[in-house]
Amino acid sequence: MEYWSFPPAYDDTYLPPADSPYWFPVRETMDPSERERAILVRLREVMRYAWEQSGFYRRKWEQAGIHPDHITSLEAFERVPVVTKAELRASQAQHPPFGDYLCVPDAEVAHIHGTSGTTGRPTAFAVGRADWQAIANNHARILWGMGPRPGDTVFVAAIFSLYLGSWGAMLGAERLGCRVFPFGAGAPGMTARAAQWLRLTRPRAFYSTPSYALRLAEVAAEEGLDPGDFGLEVMFFSGEPGASIPAVRQRIEEAFGARVFDCGTMAEMTPFMSAAATAGAPEGMLLWQDMVYHEICDPETFARVPYGQRGTPVYTHLERTSQPMIRLLSGDLSHWVDGPSPCGRTYPRLPDGVYGRIDDMFQVRGENVYPSEIDNVLNGIDGYGGEHRVVISREGTMDELLVQAEANEAVQAAGDAATVELSRRVAHELNKVLGLRARVEVVSPRSFPRSEHKARRVLDDRDLFRSLQAKLDG
């Protein structure tokens, strides 16, 4: 296996042959059982390292009766207790600022990032200098699989602050030898300027959240520009479900004339692109198991579920020495299938990407509903204006689901009959996909603010629900 060691030691000058679809042909196409044997050895190495360097892990495993030497199979690894975000926050509160799961001296920390919430204690992400180099090599390898090559321009349109997505995209593109335009996002008027710069520079590749790409397409049109003229060929996304939602993918592809690739796990798991699509398998995401060991697990027992079933992703770093995550519980939901992939790589896959967080799921009259399912339905309906809100509540003894969906300009211009027909179609499709009745209100174009980063579309507000319900019943 190429450059397979712990700690990792990459050659920063290495590039594969220009005509190779693979960065590391052996690691990416080897027999899965052979790779799993190598991963098992690496898991013991990583656990021994954490046992020696981290009070957090030694204490946690001793309480569970687990020692690194007990890990004699991948099945035995499933008995290692999962790590939760609450435990990480508690560790940092007791051992500020980085927690006692930091396994390198403070002086070796090269980058500090963190959670962006404004309430509660933020979580600090400390990335060591050697890890920053390894992350660059990992992300470059994944970008190679999507199609960018040395000399291409990569336009990074995501917030450059605590958010690790923008930095990870930039880091990988730089290591790949690309020109990087770290444009950023979030400031007033910035999206219109992004459209102008995209027309001027015509980059080959583009990174943002899916919501921002859709917003960019709208703003470009308002500026009299056709996003299809930007020359983009590769658009890769993370930060939220969307790029693996078929109807959302189609909207982005049609707007820009580019191929769409989904990627991303969690900021704590950087290299977060260890789940990522490739040019030969653009739908869903491959699990690059020799960077980060991914398991799809039962949400109750945290044992791996068989291929073909769904569960919650659990992640383990195989190359991080600073703040290594060992069986970090994601709280997301997905399902996996066995390889090989259509691109020739022998990794397992998430054919539908990540559905969303389990705690984003809500129940209506006994049915589990994920916001991504509603996104997919609406984006696949002609006449939808691009944004919506989902209002959930309980009226009396009955759960209720109300969806406010924007109409596009053509529906609005066609009058009340077209609006009523759009409402009927939305309600019908939601009922067919979700298995329950939803009340639908069609609203005017541009009724809802657009996201400059990640979209937030689900509201649980009982007073708002009652006022909207009265409006519908009125």
* Antiparallel, parallel or unpaired: β 458-459 and 384-395: parallel
Residue 398, pLDDT score: 57
For residue 230, CA distances in Å to 224, 277, 316, 399, 436 come to 13, 23, 38, 46, 41
Last residue of a domain, one of 321, 341, 360: 360
- Can you give the CATH number for the domain in which 287 is found? 3.40.50.12780
The count of structural domains within the chain is 2
How confident is the model over 221-250, as pLDDT tens digits? 999 999 999 999 999 999 888 898 898 899
Q: Do 216 and 191 contact (CB within 8 A), yes or no?
A: yes
Tokens 């910035």 label which residue? 190
Q: Are residues 245 and 279 in the same domain?
A: yes
Residues 228 and 305 in one domain: yes
- Residue 23's contacts (CB-CB under 8 Å, 6 or more residues apart) are 16, 140, 141, 144, 145
User: By the 8 A CB rule, do 272 and 139 touch?
Assistant: no
| Predicted confidence (pLDDT) at residue 464 exceeds the cutoff of 50 | no
Q: Give the end of a domain, one of 360, 379, 394.
A: 360
pLDDT category of residue 454 using cuts at 50, 70 and 90 = confident
- Give the confidence band of 399 by pLDDT, cuts at 50, 70, 90: low
Q: Is the pLDDT of residue 252 over 60?
A: yes
Q: Is the pLDDT of residue 470 over 60?
A: no
Cis preceding-peptide flag for 340 (omega within 30 of 0): yes
pLDDT for the residue 268: 95
Q: Which of 180, 186, 235, 185 is nearest to 207 (CA)?
A: 235
Pair (15, 26) in one structural domain:
yes
Contact 185, 138 (CB under 8 A): no
Query: Are both 222 and 238 inside the same structural domain?
Result: yes
Q: How far is CA 103 from the centre of its chain?
A: 26
On whether the CB atoms of residues 299 and 364 are closer than 8 A, the answer is no
Output the pLDDT for position 95.
Answer: 97
User: What is d(CA 92, CA 99) in angstroms, rounded to the nearest whole number?
Assistant: 4
- Percent of the chain with pLDDT strictly greater than 70: 93
Q: Using the predicted structure, report yes or no on whether residue 365 has a pLDDT greater than 50.
A: yes
401 HSE (CA, 13 A, CB side):
23
Q: How far is CA 304 from CA 72, 86, 268, 308, in A?
A: 16, 22, 21, 11
Average pLDDT of the residues in 59-85 = 97
- Categorise residue 297: left if φ over 0, alpha if ψ from -120 to 50, beta otherwise: beta
Kindly tell me if the per-residue pLDDT of 465 is higher than 90: no
In the predicted structure, residue 200 carries a pLDDT above the cut 90: yes
Phi and psi, residue 271, nearest 5°: -70, 100
One domain, residues 159 and 186 = yes
Q: 418-431, pLDDT tens digit by residue?
A: 999 999 999 999 98
The answer on 376 and 345 residing in a single domain is no
Last residue of some domain: 360, 380, 404?
Answer: 360
**Per mean pLDDT, which range of 168-182, 235-249, 310-324 is the poorest?**
235-249
Q: What CATH number is given to the structural domain containing 399? A: 3.30.300.30
Using CA atoms, how far apart are residues 268 and 317, in angstroms rounded to an integer?
10
Q: pLDDT digit string (tens) for 321-344? A: 999 999 999 989 899 999 899 999
Q: Are 240 and 215 in contact (CB under 8 A)?
A: no
The whole-number pLDDT of residue 116 equals 63
| Confidence tier at 392 by pLDDT (50, 70, 90) | confident
- DSSP-derived letter for residue 85 is H
- The C-alpha angle with vertex 455 and arms to 453 and 458, in degrees rounded to 5, equals 160
Residue 456: the pLDDT is 72
Which tokens in the block code for residue 428?
């019908």
- Residue 241: its pLDDT value, please? 81
Average pLDDT, the chain: 91
pLDDT digits (tens, 9 = 90+) for 400-414: 788 999 999 999 999
Instruction: For residue 282, give the amino acid letter.
Output: P
* pLDDT over 50 (residue 310): yes
pLDDT for the residue 119? 53
Are residues 242 and 382 part of one domain?
Answer: no
Structure tokens at 208: 């943002």
3-state secondary structure of 472: helix
Distance from the first to the final alpha carbon of the chain: 68
| pLDDT at residue number 472 | 47
Quickly list DSSP for 111-127: EEEE---SSSPPPEEEE
23-58 residue pLDDT tens: 999 999 999 999 999 999 999 999 999 999 999 999
Same domain, 352 and 413: no
Residues 156 and 237 in one domain: yes
Domain assignment of residue 457, given as a range: 361-473
Q: What pLDDT was estimated at residue 356?
A: 76
One domain for residues 195 and 235: yes
- Interatomic CA distance for residues 311 and 136, integer angstroms: 30
**In terms of domains, do 295 and 372 share one?**
no
Same domain? 309 vs 370 = no
pLDDT for 22:
98
- Compute the Cα dihedral for 209, 389, 456, 377 and give only its sign: negative
DSSP-based helix, strand, coil % in the chain, nearest 5: 40, 20, 40
Instruction: Report the DSSP pairing between strands 310-317 and 292-297.
Output: antiparallel
Q: Is the pLDDT of residue 297 over 60?
A: yes
Q: State the DSSP code for 449.
A: P
| β-strand pairing of 124-128 with 153-156 | unpaired
Higher-confidence residue of 125 and 437: namely 125
Of residues 471 and 238, the one with the higher pLDDT is 238
pLDDT of residue 90: 95
